[in-house]
Structure formats: C-alpha cells, structure tokens
A and B are shown apart, each in its own frame.
Chain A
Amino acid sequence: MGRNIFFRIAFGALVLTTGLVLLVNLRGEPRVLHTNLEKLPMTIADYKGTVDAFDQSIYDALGADLHLYRHYQSTQGATLSLYIGYYGTAKGGRTGHNPFACLPGAGWGIIEADKVTVYPDHHPEGVSVNYVVARKDGINNLMLHWYQTAGDRVLSTGLQQNIERFRGRVLHNRNDGAYVQVNTLVREDNVTAEKERVCLFVQEVLELLPDYWPIEG
C-alpha cells in the first residue's frame, strides 16, 4: 500500500468537509427582526404593570438582545416582578448567568430550591419550572424561573436548554431563547400562599409568551 493512500484519504476528507461546511454556512445566521416581547400586555389577569430598568452595567454584563423588566401590582395591592432576557440565535440563545449563582453573589442565601409544575392552556400535561426561595436581612425572595425557547418550549435546566438549542439549530437553523423570571418579596409566614399566587401569574405569562415570541429571519 503506497503512502499516497494516506494523503488521498486526508485530502478527500478535508475537501468534503470544506464543501459541506460552506454549504451549511450558506444557510446564514438568522437575525432578530422583531423582538415583540416588549409588547407583552401591561395588564395580565388583574395585575397592572409598570416598566423598570436595571443599571446599564447589569445589562452590559447580561448582553441580551432584549431586556424586559416590569413590576406588576394586583388590584388587591399584591406585587411581583417579571424579568425576561431574550437572546437571539446570533447571541447563542442563552445567558451564562443563573439565579443559583447570582443570588448568593448578591448576598442572598438560598434556603429552598425545587421544581414546580405549572399548567398553561397549551401544555395541559404541565411544565416544570424552577422554584427558589432566597433570604437576606429577614426578607424572603420567592422566585420562579425557566428558559423558554422556540416560542412555547419551557425548560428548567441548562442541559435541557442546550439539547433544545442544538435540535432547533439543526432542524430550523434557529436556537434563540429567553430566560424568564418572576419573583416577589415575602414574609416568612406567607411563603406557601405567595407561591400559589406567583404560580398563577406564571401560568398567565406562559400562556402569553408564544404569541409575543420574537421573529428572526
């Protein structure tokens, strides 16, 4: 067997790969055409929202295509906050930050972390989201958070999100996604009742999000 066989195989493999890679790159990388999420209703159930903003340095660190930060207040005076950070395909569709790291960094001690199932209309079987209670200076921060992708897919872990991003990119050349967080500050004796209230609000948000999902092209 001549040594040219090694050259031919290596040459063939590299030429084939170059061709296929160029072909794949012809698909191009989709850009965010309409972020849409900012059109999410200011009134959700009996809650009315007000727009807020974090410090610019936080937005710079998070690096999302769109940040939505609102405080919602019910007619009974109950409040909660909604944050959505949306990352288009060009930004990889995900954030490197998550509450399990960021909350301790901000001085909150995580005292409970679990998953809860929420039942939006288009997912009657229920979807699992992360439930966290963190505590600082005698105040509890009750938080539900998840990753949303492909409009209506709800994922609670980074691994699930990575698998979904891969699937989305292979099948639809799109792997954009959002980190969604709903939280409220509660007294210690009120956590269970507040958890139910936040879950109901999350259910409403989950029902709305697919209709306001960004458009890429």
Chain B
Amino acid sequence: MDTNTLDMTLNDQTLKWQTVLLLTLWLLAFSPVLPPMVDSWLSHSDNSHALLVPLISLYFLWEKRHEALKTPVQGSWWGLFVLSGSLVIYLISTVGGIAFFARLMFISTLIGLVWGFLGARMARLLVFPLGILFFMVPVPDSLLSLVSFPLQLLATKISAGLIQFCSIPVYREGNMLYFMQTQLEVAEACSGIRSIMSLGMLSVIFAYISAGDWWRKAILVLAAIPVALLANILRVSGTGVLAHFFGDRVARGFLHEFSGLAVFLFGLGLLFVVFSLLRKIGNS
C-alpha cells in the first residue's frame, strides 16, 4: 500500500534533511539500548563478531548509494505500521526490562522508518544492509545455553571417538576428557556456537554477493552450521591429541587462541569450498 505523492528522490534537499532528522531521532530514541549492547559485544566473546556488523552494513549501504539516490521516494503506510509496531514493542520491552526485544526493535524500527518514509522500493533496495544489522543483536544467555550445552556434549563425544581413533587412550565423562597425564574440559566457549554465529553471518554475506538461484544461497547459509561444528570438533580433537603429548598448556593462553583462529580460517575455507562446489553444480 504505497502512496504515490511527489516523484522525489533522495537528491531533494528537504528530503535529505528530513531523513537525517529522523535518523537522529531514531538514534536518540534508542540511546539507552546502545551502551549495554556495545558492552556485551566487548565483554562476551560469543558476540565479538557483532563489532563488524555496523561496518559491513555501512559498506553495503555505500555500495548502493548511486541506486538509492536515483530511487523514487514514496511513503508507505505498511512501513509506518512496522515502524509504529516496533516502537510499541520497544516501549513495552523497555518497561519490562527485556533487553533482547528492545535491541531487535532497534533494527526493525530502522527498517520500518526507511520503508515508511522512503517507501517500499527503497526498503527493498536496502533490505540486505539493513537486515544484516540483526546479527549485531546478542542472543540471550538463556537461549544460547539451550543450544550450546547439547553442542558441547556432541563435540566432546565425537572428539573422544576421534582421539581414540588416533590410538590415544581417553575417557569421557560429560564434557570432561581424561587422558593418562592430564584432563581437559570442553567448556561452553568450545561448544562451537561462536563459530556458528560468525560463520553464519559470513555465509549470509557470501550468499548475498554470489549470483545464482535461491536454493544455492539457502544451501550455502545452512552449510555454515555443519561446517562450524566440524571445525570445532577438529579443534577439540586436535587440542586433545596435543594435550596427550604436551600437557594441558595447549588448551590455555596463546596456543588456544591461535588454534581458535586457525580453525575459524579452516571453517571459512570449507565454506568457500561449498560456495565453489555450488557454483559448479549450478553451472553444469
């Protein structure tokens, strides 16, 4: 339900200033939400990928700038409905102290604002740069633990099997791996959830920038989950094998951080292989 009014574009000076004013107000309205959210990016390693999200979004917005300036601006009642609904949910979440919903509304209000004030065509054009901002909303701990605990157990179980396959005696009890000389705890941070989130975000970007059918893009995005799990299992197994020979110091400090980075790059490489394979399948 778009309303054709004047055939304007963002080149119009009044429209430009109105947009800047609305965006400033949007930031002001959500100013209480922002510092705690940035704090959780910095303090919780599961959310550290979120630091990059605004930059990624700005990059893709910049890429769209020429098209955006040429797109006719038409207000949309549906967009205003999304804007108003998001603001109401934001208010309720603020009163009720539900940070997660308040943060989600930070993004949906922006989408509603673009859609409502600049119209459906502009919203469609900018849907990716705006939509990817959802990745900067930290997942609540209670929700995260529902997923991370089973993943932790799965990673430990499979890793114990792989370590035994290397003829290294290991006994598993829950998330603990007991070796002859030492023991390792597969902590929550080793569940793979962090890799799933960061590789998931990258796979969405890969899917966006790649040409091709929707099914190839969908497979690419979904592939992030098994790829992240596989990479994490290899990291836990590798750490276990090294711990057997060199003690538990391999699971601490620089070596542990380095293995995390190496395994993330491995996951990224694997995702790229999936991406290339899908391209070949599509072309053939």
Interfacial residues, chain A to chain B (CB-CB below 8 A): 1-3, 5-7, 9-11, 13-15, 17-18, 20-21, 24-25, 61, 89, 92, 94, 96-98, 101-102, 104-108, 136, 158, 165-166, 169-170, 175
B26–A170 touching, CB < 8 Å? no
| Given A5-B75, A97-B145, A158-B142: A61 and B94 interface contact (C-beta under 8 Å) | no
| Given A18-B29, A108-B174, A136-B173: A24 and B94 interface contact (C-beta under 8 Å) | yes
Which among A20, A104, A165 is the interface contact of B91 at CB below 8 angstroms?
A20
For residue B144, CB closer than 8 A to chain A, the reply is yes
B174–A106 touching, CB < 8 Å? yes
Which among A24, A107, A170 is the interface contact of B173 at CB below 8 angstroms?
A107
Number of A-B residue pairs with CB-CB distance less than 8 Å in the complex they form = 109
> Interface size on B (CB < 8 Å)?
46
| Given A106-B174, A106-B175: A21 and B94 interface contact (C-beta under 8 Å) | yes
B174–A2 touching, CB < 8 Å? no
B residues in contact with A105, CB < 8 Å: 149, 152-153, 174-175
| Given A1-B3, A3-B5, A96-B144: A10 and B83 interface contact (C-beta under 8 Å) | yes
Which among B21, B25, B149 is the interface contact of A104 at CB below 8 angstroms?
B149
Interface string of B111-150 (1 = CB under 8 A from A): 0010011000000000000000000000011101110011
A residues in contact with B75, CB < 8 Å: 3, 5-6
18 contacts between A and B (CB under 8 A): A3-B73, A6-B80, A7-B22, A10-B116, A11-B21, A17-B29, A20-B91, A24-B94, A89-B97, A92-B99, A96-B144, A97-B145, A106-B174, A106-B176, A108-B174, A165-B97, A170-B95, A170-B96
Query: Chain A CB within 10 Å — which of B22, B29, B117 has the most?
Result: B29
A residues in contact with B25, CB < 8 Å: 11, 14-15, 18
B residues in contact with A10, CB < 8 Å: 22, 80, 83, 113, 116-117
